[in-house]
Amino acid sequence: MTLEAAGFWGLAPVLLASSLAVVLSKNLFHSVLYLALALVATAGVFLLLQAEFLAAVQVLLYAGGVITIVVFAIVVTERLVGERLAQTNRGVINGGLISLAVLIWIVVFIAGAQLPRTAPPPPGDLTQAIGRDLLTRFVLPFELLAVLFLAGLLGALFFARKEE
């Protein structure tokens, strides 16, 4: 067994268990912590696939940014509502069935796909390539994102401003 395979089999149970814990845990706050764990484990999988940039973004953006926002949301909502929020799972059977169907679909899809037997050669410095493409081929989407954020920022400012 290669080191890569060992890493994968070490990460996979953590990822699966923490993902399940996110949806099954009654305590909303615990769910968020499990979500953070799941996201970091996903970053680990990216690292194993030699996608360092993606792994870094995953940790920064999701484990860092998104989790922080969710924690804030829970804390603020609990204070506003005045009671502890609990996660209820009324649709657990239907949800499970749909998840199962998606799982079967993905397995069938992968089984039918013709995958190369050997791993493709490492593509060199991905971070550099992404940076170059972002400012050349994809400069328009990059700039548009800035305008999009401007609109979001204006909206947030408008709603956050005190009523006159």
Size of the site for another protein (CB under 8 A): 18
Closest approach of another protein to the CB of residue 149, in Å? 9
Is residue 154 close enough to count as binding another protein by CB under 8 A?
yes
**Segment holding 36, helix H or strand E:** helix 28-48
Give the nearer residue to another protein in terms of CB position, either 9 or 149.
149
Rounded Cα distance between 100 and 105, Å, is 9
Is residue 124 close enough to count as binding another protein by CB under 8 A?
no
Closest approach of another protein to the CB of residue 5, in Å? 26
HSE-up of residue 117 (Cα within 13 Å, Cβ side): 0
Is residue 1 close enough to count as binding another protein by CB under 8 A?
no
Q: Cβ neighbours of residue 135 under 8 Å, at least 6 residues apart?
A: 142
Contact in structure between 88 and 27 (CB atoms under 8 Å): no
Closest approach of another protein to the CB of residue 27, in Å? 25
Residue holding tokens 């360092």?
Answer: 52
Stretch that binds another protein, among 36-44, 45-53, 84-92, 131-139 (CB under 8 A): 131-139
Closest approach of another protein to the CB of residue 155, in Å? 3
Residue holding tokens 């079967």?
Answer: 104
Is residue 140 close enough to count as binding another protein by CB under 8 A?
yes
Q: Can you read off the two tokens belonging to residue 7?
A: 């890493």
Rounded Cα distance between 40 and 38, Å, is 5
Binding site for another protein (CB under 8 A): 137-141, 144-145, 147-148, 150-152, 154-155, 157-159, 163
